[in-house]
Amino acid sequence: MTLSVSYPNQNRNYCLFNEQKIANKVSTDFDDIGRSLAHSKTEDEILENLYVINLKLDNGADKNEVSKLYPILSQYNDTTSPNIQTFLAGIYRKTKIPDAFGPLVKMLIQNSINPPKDANFDPTEEIGGAILDYLA
């Protein structure tokens, strides 16, 4: 079985996904993605769903449809996972969901006080960029 997610390492600062599995999910509607995300048990499952949302946004999906997922997305706002933080910040940056601004600031402050250990990249860059986009 092919791994779902290959995490960042010392040679690559981003996740790699099983693109065949992702391609099947990209055609899924946001309600199904939301249900899947709400019942995700592992970081791999969470990241796959966030990646699909991100891809759909890049492909011109309706930002208002993604905004409706905020109650589900927000359950991950307190995560310490730099991977999940980065994807959330990217989604929030693209959608500018008003309720997400505070959690982004909280992530930034928490990462400043307790920088993620063993991260092969700095999620604060994406979080800070999202905050700047909100302020622009």
> pLDDT by residue (tens digit) across 91-118?
999 999 999 999 999 999 999 999 988 7
Higher pLDDT, 76 or 3: 76
- Give the mean pLDDT of 15-19: 94
Range of the domain at 115: 5-135
Q: What is the pLDDT of residues 61-77, one digit of tens each?
A: 999 999 999 999 999 99
The helix, strand and coil proportions of the chain, stated in percent and rounded to the nearest 5, come to: 65, 5, 30
Per-residue confidence (pLDDT) for residue 128, from 0 to 100: 97
- Return mean pLDDT, the chain: 93
CB burial string 101-132: b at 16+ within 10 A, e below: eebbeebbebbeeeebeebeeebbebbbebbe
Q: Which of 25, 10, 31, 19 is nearest to 119 (CA)?
A: 10
Place of tokens 């933080």: 85
- Count of domains for the chain: 1
